[in-house]
Structure 1
Amino acid sequence: MSSSSTPRQVAILGATGSIGTSALDVIARHPEQMRASVLAAGSSVDALLALCRTHRPDHAAIGDPALFERLRDGLADAGLATEAHAGHAAIETLAASAACDTVVAAIVGAAGLASTLAAARAGKRLLLANKESLVLAGTLLTREAAAAGAEIIPIDSEHNAIFQCLRSRDASLDSGVRRIILTASGGPFRGRSRAALETVTVAQAVAHPKWSMGPKISVDSATLMNKGLEVIEAHHLFNVPGSRIDVLVHPQSLVHSLVEFIDGSTLAQMGLPDMRTTLAVGLGWPRRIESGVAGLDLLSQGRLDFEAPDLDAFPCLRLAWQAMDAGGTAPAILNAANEEAVSAFLQGRIGFLSIPALVEHALSTLPHAAADTLEALLAADAQARHTTCTAIAHLPHV
């Protein structure tokens, strides 16, 4: 933790999203220890300007170059000295610059990959919330981070829970870890048979029983693909093989993940589902700092349930394990095929069970190449999208 005389300088990439605003909430509670020095967003220029007026960063960047003048003029009209930037290359440059020592990587999708890699290569403390960085490029990212001495702290609640239980990212057998166990809510269709999923609608799939999320991640929760992607992330973050990663369905979503040790001990991290907790861990580590989140009242929460995932009804989880075991570009193929299939489902063009079928088709028909460059990964991504879109076009419309 930076001393009070030299506050931690934090770049928030994806500042206008839920993770970005949660990070700013935590930072604002500790003005002597940290400040938001860089704020970046994709296209929400008005929301970005509002955040700049409140937090007064040194730099603000908008991903869409066409919005540069609105950002620059808005900053000037507000009387701010904040410097305006535009374009993803500018965000990448800021992430690696002396303007920050800590980067919250919360830009959604492949658009956040280059800036996350830039922060890792520059040796920053990287608070990682961008799934694609690990699913597409986990080997590349962790290798670059290790070479530069960058410190990766995962912000996803499940991986942050494992990080807290380990007090590091060391889950090696030498550290005494037998296995790590990710928890899943089970989504809206928990307990349903495969046959019962034939006719589910888009409205049913996006209606998560516990919280409101975007349509894509809601469908991933319904298919359990989100948990499959998290298994791949855990493999890279903690350098453990798939044979030492398990998944338990836990509908209450209060136990965020568990670590089992060789002496028979199992540590679990529990808490209310609020991203400010995981962000406070990342911003304050190894110290604990105030996050604004209340403690967990177990008496008011009632029972905690756990059950095994149904891999017959929800094969996406099984496919993610297969892709992880295959390695190379297989996870990138899995991710891209899933994105195209989910998009087609949300548009009403395919049925729910076509999603895992299309993912399996891409994984079984496309070659798995080495994943040692960003170019190879993006090529695999593009090929998987083309293959999946072609397959979708040949399916009967629902």
Structure 2
Amino acid sequence: MVKNIALLGSTGSIGVQTLEVIDEHKDDFIVKIISGHKNVQRLLEQALKYKPEYVIVTHEKSYEILKKELSTFPIKVILGEKEIAKVYQEVNLDLVIGAISGAAGIPSVLAALELGIDVALANKETIVVAGNIVKRIQKKTGAKIIPVDSEHSAIFQCLTGHEKAVSGLLITASGGPFRNLSPDELHKVTPEMALNHPTWSMGNKITIDSATLMNKGLEIIEAHFLFNVAYENINAIIHPQSIVHSMVLYGDGSVLAHLGLPDMRVPIQYALTYPERKNNSFPKLDLLKIKELEFLKPDTEKFPCLNLAYRAGKIGYTMPAVLNAANEIAVELFMQKDIGFMDIPKLVEEVMQKHEIVKEFDFKDLLEVDKWARIECKKIKDRM
């Protein structure tokens, strides 16, 4: 069966690798929609190659350029995502790949789920910020979420058919580039150092989150919602080789683990072809070449973001949205060299302490909470 897909965030790391997967299986997918922000050249190249029906652009100058460049092609160029639900319906989609980074990617994913369209989800913020809303929509429409993150894909594959027997989840983390640094050395970390990830090739924001272990904290919140497992039974474990992508613990003493090379194209392909599993030409794991597999306990004193995420998840309600928004701003400030590496968790924690949780909310309320947290984070930075 040929699947009609929308690829949201097509110019980013996940988007580009998704298209590499599609190139491996040209007869199985038709790209109906692509979307991007400022990377005009890449978006233009993708539009000319895949000939989607729609190109959605969220940056006005980029929109003007693309509209002119694609004027002679039967491709509709749209500014912004306000009409995304209408566009979804006009192209009869089978799958939406949610690969827009950060909170900006949430509305387009929710719109797909509202229409009952299955989502291959790479945007963890959708679940972290709006997990309760996502569950509510899924219950109403029956739309499925197939995780793209390597860790959640691993759990998804090890879990299928045995959900009732699960006793816990182990989510692996590479530990980032700084796991062996002293506290004094961590204060001297620069953005350039933090972007040099030892095993994975990812976008800037997620690479910084990996270095602080915030990424793992966000993944724990996501796993709680995706797999209905209590926070007390979800643990992060440092695994520097990034070969074991996560593990599921069962009540009978069994531990099912998913192993593979650190290549995001593999979980992307599984999400696209699910429930089938297909061959590809990507490099394969050779266990005889793996010298060792290490597993270590994370140091939450040096990397407090992990515990902040646990705290936000257990408090629930609007606190995960605050955690996410404050972290996005803190990472931006660090990338701009306005704050130090160890100021990231300090800023996030201060914003969390100032937040008064809201127990009854809709998505508009979450947007207000998100906006407040971002403004508050900047205010705190200005007082530092």
The TM-score, its normalising length taken from structure 2, stands at: 0.94
Match of 1:154 in 2: 147
Alpha-carbon offset, residue 255 of structure 1: 0.6
Is the counterpart of residue 128 in structure 1 residue 87 in structure 2? no
Out of 8, 13, 29, the position equivalent to 1:18 is 13
Residues 337-365 of structure 1, C-alpha deviations (whole Å, 9 max, x = no match): 11222222222222222221221111112
Residues 74-132 of structure 1, C-alpha deviations (whole Å, 9 max, x = no match): 2234xx32222221213343245443121001111222111100001111110001121
Greater Cα shift, 339-348 or 101-110: 339-348
Seen in structure 2, the aligned counterparts of structure 1 residues 348 and 59 have a Cα distance that, compared at 3 Å, is: closer
Match of 1:101 in 2: 94
Is the counterpart of residue 62 in structure 1 residue 57 in structure 2? yes
Distance in 2 between residues matched to 1:312 and 1:95, nearest whole Å:
46
Match of 1:388 in 2: 377
Contact 1:140–1:371 (CA under 8 A) maintained in structure 2: no
What is the one-letter code of the residue matched to 1:147? Answer: K
Match of 1:270 in 2: 259
Seen in structure 2, the aligned counterparts of structure 1 residues 348 and 75 have a Cα distance that, compared at 3 Å, is: closer
SS at match of 1:338: helix
Match of 1:110 in 2: 103
Counterpart mapping for 1:284-363 below 5 A: 284-363=273-352
Out of 42, 45, 50, the position equivalent to 2:40 is 45
Match of 1:282 in 2: 271
Contact 1:182–1:248 (CA under 8 A) maintained in structure 2: yes
Distance in 1 between residues matched to 2:198 and 2:20, nearest whole Å:
26
Seen in structure 2, the aligned counterparts of structure 1 residues 41 and 349 have a Cα distance that, compared at 3 Å, is: closer
Distance in 2 between residues matched to 1:9 and 1:368, nearest whole Å:
40
What is the one-letter code of the residue matched to 1:310? Answer: D
Match of 2:71 in 1: 76
Is the counterpart of residue 138 in structure 1 residue 131 in structure 2? yes
Alpha-carbon offset, residue 63 of structure 1: 1.9
Match of 1:197 in 2: 186
SS at match of 1:361: helix
Contact 1:24–1:36 (CA under 8 A) maintained in structure 2: no
Alpha-carbon offset, residue 44 of structure 1: 2.4
Contact 2:231–2:310 (CA under 8 A) maintained in structure 1: yes
What is the one-letter code of the residue matched to 2:8? Answer: L
Greater Cα shift, 306-315 or 273-282: 273-282
Alpha-carbon offset, residue 156 of structure 1: 0.6
Contact 2:173–2:240 (CA under 8 A) maintained in structure 1: yes
Distance in 2 between residues matched to 1:233 and 1:146, nearest whole Å:
17
Alpha-carbon offset, residue 22 of structure 1: 1.8
Greater Cα shift, 82-91 or 277-286: 82-91
Residues 305-344 of structure 1, C-alpha deviations (whole Å, 9 max, x = no match): 0000011111110010000000011011111111222222
Alpha-carbon offset, residue 218 of structure 1: 2.5
Match of 1:179 in 2: 168
Out of 238, 241, 248, the position equivalent to 1:252 is 241
Distance in 2 between residues matched to 1:24 and 1:383, nearest whole Å:
36
What is the one-letter code of the residue matched to 1:32? Answer: D
Match of 2:208 in 1: 219
Greater Cα shift, 240-249 or 46-55: 46-55
Contact 1:125–1:150 (CA under 8 A) maintained in structure 2: yes
SS at match of 2:341: coil
Match of 2:28 in 1: 33
Contact 1:96–1:119 (CA under 8 A) maintained in structure 2: no
Consecutive aligned runs of 4 or more in structure 1 exceeding 6 Å deviation: none
Structure 1: tracts of 5 or more residues without a match = none
Greater Cα shift, 281-290 or 192-201: 192-201
Residues 230-264 of structure 1, C-alpha deviations (whole Å, 9 max, x = no match): 11111111121101101100000011100011111
Distance in 2 between residues matched to 1:355 and 1:72, nearest whole Å:
39
Residues 45-80 of structure 1, C-alpha deviations (whole Å, 9 max, x = no match): 332221122112222222224444432332234xx3
Contact 2:200–2:263 (CA under 8 A) maintained in structure 1: no
Distance in 1 between residues matched to 2:51 and 2:152, nearest whole Å:
31
Seen in structure 2, the aligned counterparts of structure 1 residues 300 and 367 have a Cα distance that, compared at 3 Å, is: same
Alpha-carbon offset, residue 187 of structure 1: 0.8
Aligned residues: 384
SS at match of 2:71: helix
Distance in 1 between residues matched to 2:24 and 2:190, nearest whole Å:
43
Contact 2:57–2:80 (CA under 8 A) maintained in structure 1: yes
Contact 1:276–1:292 (CA under 8 A) maintained in structure 2: no
Distance in 1 between residues matched to 2:45 and 2:204, nearest whole Å:
26
Contact 2:300–2:307 (CA under 8 A) maintained in structure 1: yes
Alpha-carbon offset, residue 195 of structure 1: 4.1
Seen in structure 2, the aligned counterparts of structure 1 residues 95 and 181 have a Cα distance that, compared at 3 Å, is: farther
The percentage of aligned residue pairs carrying the same residue is 43
The TM-score, its normalising length taken from structure 1, stands at: 0.91
SS at match of 2:83: helix
Taking only aligned residues, the RMSD between alpha carbons, in angstroms, comes to 1.9
SS at match of 1:209: coil
Greater Cα shift, 64-73 or 11-20: 64-73
What is the one-letter code of the residue matched to 2:165? Answer: G
SS at match of 2:82: helix
Distance in 1 between residues matched to 2:14 and 2:200, nearest whole Å:
15
Contact 1:63–1:87 (CA under 8 A) maintained in structure 2: yes
